[in-house]
Chains A and B, each alone.
Chain A
Amino acid sequence: MKPTKDQLLWMYENMVLSRRFEEAIEKVYMEGKTPAFNMANGPIPGEMHLSNGQEPCAVGVCVHLTDEDIVTATHRPHHQAIAKGVDLRGMTAEIFGKSTGLSGGRGGHMHIFDADVNFSCSGIIGESCGPACGAALSRKMQGKPGVAVAFLGEGAANQGAFHEALNLAGVWKLPVVFVIEDNSWGISVPKSEATAVERNDVRAAGYGMPGHHIPGNDPEAIFDIAGQAIERARAGEGPTLIEIETYRLAGHFMGDAEQYRPEGEKDALFEKDPIPKMRARLLADGTATEAELDKIETAAGEKVEDAIGYARDSAPARDEDALTAVFV
């Protein structure tokens, strides 16, 4: 499956948007956290898991989805949320803990819910998988269009929830795709020390579904395989498991000293940064001009600036709202 020019530019745009967004979040996050790093301080408190480097996984999958499709995401959700079309202002305000946030400040960065585009996430490893099966079952039972995609990390593929969900999807032939973003680290533990198989795609065989492995953190390769899997789900042919080799350019969370990384690993990763790589390719094969790509980058920057400004200017969450919305 080959992307059209529009699809390529859409993927590039959303990768850039996600990167600019996280660069901005990173900057704000550090406000009030120097010289001594205290997670509770600053305009954005709490844990912060950045996804820079992993953008190709989100765009290569979500380019095939529409608002009516479902995405369940992880504790590292920004790139997935942006690629799924989650309201950027609302998400940013949520991360700032503002009243205008998607959930009025109740959830924060690990609990982004945007029902308008069927996006949700969970901060618990592996717990994106079961709800995706349920949403897929719902569509199947209602005869309504739409497929579900569960994103997870390679560490989550060792959780019981992952295996139970895959079995359920397999036995019920659900229209769901499981996408593992293998960034090779579960916080500080390398995949090789945590996972009994080298590649998780082989685990698909245990659940009666096809498994695919995608090397190279390459948006076009992801586009191809994800497109086939989503088409298969839409056609009622059942679930697929995909593992994508990717990498995070940041630590597990902000403040992570990353002492577990072998020397030189980060430098090598930045050299493989998928965004400049895609830009170079789009120019080299004549898909886009410098001017087109510059325009995309400028627009992304402006969009992020707008969202950050909106979040900063929004009223803080109200104390007493903490006691509401437990029930509808």
Chain B
Amino acid sequence: MLDQQTNERRLTIARAMAEAMAQEMRRDPSVFVMGEDIGPFGGIFGNTRGLIDEFGKDRVRDTPISETGFISAAVGAAMDGMRPVVELMFVDFFGVCFDAIYNQMAKNTYFSGGNSSVPMVLMTSTGGGYSDAGQHSQCLYGTFAHLPGMKVVSPSNAYDAKGLMTAAIREDNPVVYMYHKGLQGMGWLGTEPGATVHTPEEDYVVEIGKAKVVREGSDVTLVGLAMGVHNALKAADKLAEDGVSAEVVDLVSLVPLDRETVRASVAKTGRLIVVDEDYHSYGVTGEIIATVCEHDIGKLKAAPARVAFPDVPIPYARNMEQFCLPNADKIVAAYRAMQKAEG
């Protein structure tokens, strides 16, 4: 919608994703979309709404509940010259189809010596916070980013969501496009208002592999992605009330990872807190901390900290889940602990 006062065209991430797909489908006949309930239903999370009206059932293809079948079919179609955008409805469902993803989609380029490419987008929803428990609420960023051969992105707002989708569709390599349900702008999921931002109508690209400093500061660097960015921004507001200046880095992409932007920020602030809704161990938080420590540990004024989901399955009960999820208060507390340790 256009805000009359600011002349802003504010879109939800869901709308922004659909708009990017529609524009690319108009531009390139090899682009098509398939997945469960992405046709007349418009996607469970709204991200394909309206596409079937313009492009029809052939290019906006509802699939059987058969992730191995249609994701490996997307691999075969991509290697034959198409550009499929395929949806894994919840990232948690990767367990029924991971061979198609990490053994085929991610490895066929390498095993062909670079003679074949797999230009496809695997879009998948992540995140919890609405009591859907541990088979429908995970992020699994680290799981996908860990395995070589796929680019991995996760937008925190509609502007990036559109530009990243456009970039992902035009990319000649497989891209895992992870969108957080709580940022999607679907009322029934509850939504983070900060994700609905000005989104230009014309097509544009947000570069894959480039992080963004979304708030400048000098005392501490808060690094996150998707929902983590919003938690970090809220923490930065709280810290500012106490005169602490926090810089917030939105990773935007996990693969390739923009280590330079993170290092440059920490070089400036000397302190690092990483926020992640994925599990604590062996994940994004550890990778970001290692990125800084192995490069120049001397830049750190304090031991780095992480605010992540504890290493337990995601519980159902509202209070149990909220107890586990990262939030602004936990980030502020991590900073306070850091200060205390510094003395």
A contact residues vs B (CB 8 Å cutoff): 70, 72, 101-104, 106-107, 111, 113, 115, 118, 120, 122, 124, 127, 129-139, 141-142, 148, 160-161, 164-165, 167-168, 171, 324-328
Contacts and interface: CB of A to CB of B under 8 A. Distances in A.
Given A127-B100, A134-B78, A326-B148, A113 B73 contact: no
Contact of B111 (A106, A137, A139): A106
B116 interface: yes
A130 B77 contact: no
B8 interface: no
A131 B172 contact: no
A69 to B, nearest CB: 11
A103 B103 contact: no
B82 A168 contact: no
A138 B74 CA distance: 9
A171 B66 CA distance: 12
Interface in B133-191: 148-149, 151, 172-173
A131 B116 contact: no
A161 B63 CA distance: 15
Contact of A161 (B59, B68, B110): B68
Contacts of A324: 114
A106 B80 contact: no
Contacts of A101: 113
B69 A102 contact: no
B58 A113 contact: no
B77 A164 contact: no
Given A107-B113, A164-B66, A122 B104 contact: yes
B111 A134 contact: no
B114 A135 contact: no
B109 A164 contact: no
Nearest to A170: B64
B108 A113 contact: yes
B99 interface: yes
Contacts of B69: 130, 133, 161, 164-165, 167-168
B112 A131 contact: no
B81 interface: yes
Contacts of A139: 80
A106 B149 CA distance: 13
B68 A113 contact: no
A115 B77 contact: no
Interface in B80-126: 80-82, 84, 96, 99-100, 103-104, 107-117
A137 B77 contact: yes
Contact of B172 (A165, A326, A328): A328
B206 interface: no
30 contacts: A72-B76, A103-B114, A107-B112, A107-B113, A111-B111, A113-B113, A113-B116, A124-B99, A124-B103, A129-B72, A130-B69, A130-B100, A131-B72, A131-B79, A133-B76, A134-B77, A134-B78, A135-B77, A137-B76, A137-B77, A138-B80, A139-B80, A141-B32, A141-B59, A142-B82, A161-B72, A164-B66, A325-B110, A327-B109, A327-B149
Given A131-B79, A139-B80, A165 B113 contact: no
A107 B111 contact: yes
B25 to A, nearest CB: 12
B275 interface: no
A136 B76 CA distance: 8
A138 to B, nearest CB: 4
Contact of A102 (B32, B63, B115, B148): B115
